[in-house]
Amino acid sequence: MKPLIACLLLALASAPALAADVDVVDTTFAKVQGAHPFNVRDLVMMDRVSDPQLSPDGRYAAFGVRSTDYAANKGVTAVYVLDLGKGGQPVKVVEKGSSARWSNDGRSLYFLAAAKGVTQLWRLDLAGGNGLDLARHGAPVQVSHGVLDLGGYKLSPDGGRALLSYEVFTDCANLACTHERLAAREQDKASGTLYTKLFVRHWDTWADGRRNQLYVARFDGKGQLPAEPTLLTRGIDGDVPSKPFGDDSEFTFAPDGKSVFFDVRIAGTTEPWSTNFDVYRVPVDGSAAPTNLTADNKAWDGFPVASPDGKTLYYLAMKKPGAEADRFAIMALDLATGAKHEVDPKWDRSPGGLAISADGKTLYATADDEGQHPLFAIDTASGKVRKVVGDGTVGGYSLAADKLLLSRDDLKRPADLYLAGTDGSHLKQVTHFNAADLKNAQVGDAEFFNFKGADGANVQGYVVKPANYQPGKTYPVAFIIHGGPQGAMGNGWSYRWNPQTYAGQGFAVVTVNFHGSTGYGQAFTDSISGDWGGKPLEDLKLGWKAALDKYSFLDGDRACAMGASYGGYMTYWIAGVWNEPWKCLIDHDGVFDTRAMYYETEELWFEEMENGGTQFDHPENYEKFNPINHVKDWRVPMLVIHSAKDFRIPLTQGLSAFTALQRRGIPSEFLTFPDENHWVLKPHNSVQWHDAVNAWLKQWTAAGAR
């Protein structure tokens, strides 16, 4: 052991070197004026249009727009209304608010916003002499007065009630009890938490014993809700809506307003390895316990939508217990007899949430479909499916008065609103947010290509040209590997892995929708389970070759591979088994050790489905494609990015990979964010992330780089 004085002198001598190993970054910027290649600073400052809502008469569109307060390092969402009859510009009617919904008479908007630091429900009256007066409306009126944040809501068909979601301690008799218990915890000088079951933490949040529960309250004569609503989910050990991303698509009123439908996964001790959601019905007055309507199916049932006549309940259902990426079938439940049948058995796509036409004859849903994310219409009687709006990505949508309002984006432009007939006819863009910025920011053209992948299957990918593309020149390549793994890189705009941010830096982009991707049939999606490093890797190899053969502007000698989540797993995997083509690698929140991942993650159902069971019962499955077993073959410089609040793929996975790189003497850097989860969401962090990634790409693809 060294003498103490020697240790102190050594520490002092090494301090400057240690400080130099930590990079200090500047994420401030002045917006570029005039024509320029698209960059991350354009990206983070774009207005994000979402949540379109048609008024009952179809004349007005309400929607949310998230703008960026860069100085405050956060997004701010406002509510806009557009008069579709007169056209013109949208009017901002709420400075800070979200989840705007029309009253049943179309004369008011309800929305969520903070009051004294607590999220409440508000009403904005817009009625004017002829239609709505968007310019001279009165001030919003607070209508809920709970002591806890309101998580979500839905108005009853007659407008007399509201469903309300609050996060509460389920043994509390009222909201005030939860509020008092939280306040007492804040005063407790002991900081420990004792857990008796999983989840201990989920996504980016440590469990504290509270669950989302569903309440109902009636508006009084003045349009006010009581501070203490009526609990509808009494005795339900689960979250309504689900955590971490559930919303108001998971609960709804019956058309007559006398009952409520919701979906929930009963937690118990099996929550981390169960996907058994069920659909329940409960009387609107809470006079009886909820009744399980789908107990016969041990897989996922959810997202209920009632037919306008109240006789049929439509919902989505998977068939494989423990799966989260099985195909969702559209189911119809006869509420009088309990009989069920699948509406769309011949449609090999997995639809998202449902909406229904006023006559009950047509269901609407979006779904991935060969690189696009269209809106489809499904005939409730025959199950026949037709595409309503095709190219690009359809986000939210709303139906009213034989009109369809939807948000739509693609690889070259972010979301705006479009208006059409309910059959998709006469599609017309009605908002033009970001138009001026997009005119100045040059983006790259995109093209899809197909090739024969693993087992001779048809596989799709796409290429994005650099923003400054000139025929005859060659360009370095960013080869992006998507996450999920049951996902896809499609014709849509993104605020995380947006190909245009690389195209704007002078890179071409190549991506491949390998075996396991969505939108190509359920068998194709299922094929990745148990084969993470097999057919997907073969597709990536063949797709890379196909792209190089087809596009002469791709410089295959100056290319870097990169990905996040499963894409990060694949980046670690190819670092050991397919590193020949790459000048550098970039890994964001990837799985480095599949064995440790099983015991570190939270949603165990995913690991068990992908690997054929638990790690302790089937260790060989977890080792078959484990990147840690090939570290001795790593040689390519790698940037590792991993955030501290990522509980899906915990920080230790990234730290372990960086340790391996450093110990092997491979050029490497490690970027971590203490305040981010599986995604990087804060504006300054997003800029820092992109700056670090782009610097790494340029360093290793520059002329003369190793």
Residues 6+ apart with CB under 8 A from 73: 682, 683, 684
Single-letter amino acid code for the residue at 94: V
Return d(Cα 345, Cα 328) in angstroms, integer.
10
Looking only at the bridges linking them, the beta strands covering 98-102 and 91-94 are unpaired
Q: Which pair of structure tokens corresponds to residue 256?
A: 């007559």
Q: Is 462 left (phi over 0), alpha (psi -120 to 50) or beta?
A: beta
Q: Which of 350, 378, 374, 352 has the alpha carbon at shortest distance from 364?
A: 378
Q: Which pair of structure tokens corresponds to residue 233?
A: 């989910």
Please give the helix or strand (H or E) that residue 120 lies within, else none: strand 118-125
* Selected catalytic residue, list 137, 646, 686, 691: 646
What 8-state DSSP symbol labels residue 510?
E
543 contacts 558 by C-beta, under 8 angstroms: no
- Per-residue b or e along 75-109, where b marks 16 or more CB atoms closer than 10 Å to that residue's CB: bebbbbbbbbeeeeebeebbeebbbbbbbeebebb
Residues 6+ apart with CB under 8 A from 381: 361
* Selected catalytic residue, list 249, 565, 656, 686: 565
CA distances from 239 to 203, 245, 262 (A): 15, 11, 10
Residues in the chain: 706
481 contacts 513 by C-beta, under 8 angstroms: no
214 contacts 165 by C-beta, under 8 angstroms: yes
Catalytic-residue membership of 678? yes
Rounded to 10 deg, the angle between the 535-550 and 566-577 helix axes is 80
- Residue 389: alpha-carbon gap to chain centroid: 21
Single-letter amino acid code for the residue at 387: K
With H, G, I as helix, E, B as strand and everything else as coil, classify residue 626.
coil
51 contacts 386 by C-beta, under 8 angstroms: no
Give strand pairing partners of 213. 166
CA distances from 535 to 179, 524, 606, 699 (A): 52, 11, 19, 31
* Selected catalytic residue, list 678, 686, 690, 691: 678
212 contacts 686 by C-beta, under 8 angstroms: no
What 8-state DSSP symbol labels residue 299?
S
Return d(Cα 106, Cα 55) in angstroms, integer.
6
Single-letter amino acid code for the residue at 651: L
Q: Which pair of structure tokens corresponds to residue 234?
A: 């009494």
136 contacts 143 by C-beta, under 8 angstroms: no
Catalytic-residue membership of 149? no
Q: Which pair of structure tokens corresponds to residue 598?
A: 């099983």
Give strand pairing partners of 407. 417
Give strand pairing partners of 49. 65
With H, G, I as helix, E, B as strand and everything else as coil, classify residue 259.
strand
581 contacts 544 by C-beta, under 8 angstroms: yes
537 contacts 578 by C-beta, under 8 angstroms: yes
CA distances from 287 to 230, 232, 283, 407 (A): 10, 9, 6, 40
End-to-end distance of the chain based on CA atoms, in angstroms?
41
CB neighbours (10 Å) of residue 366?
23
CA distances from 349 to 54, 461, 489 (A): 27, 19, 16
Catalytic-residue membership of 618? no
Which residues belong to the active site? 565, 646, 678
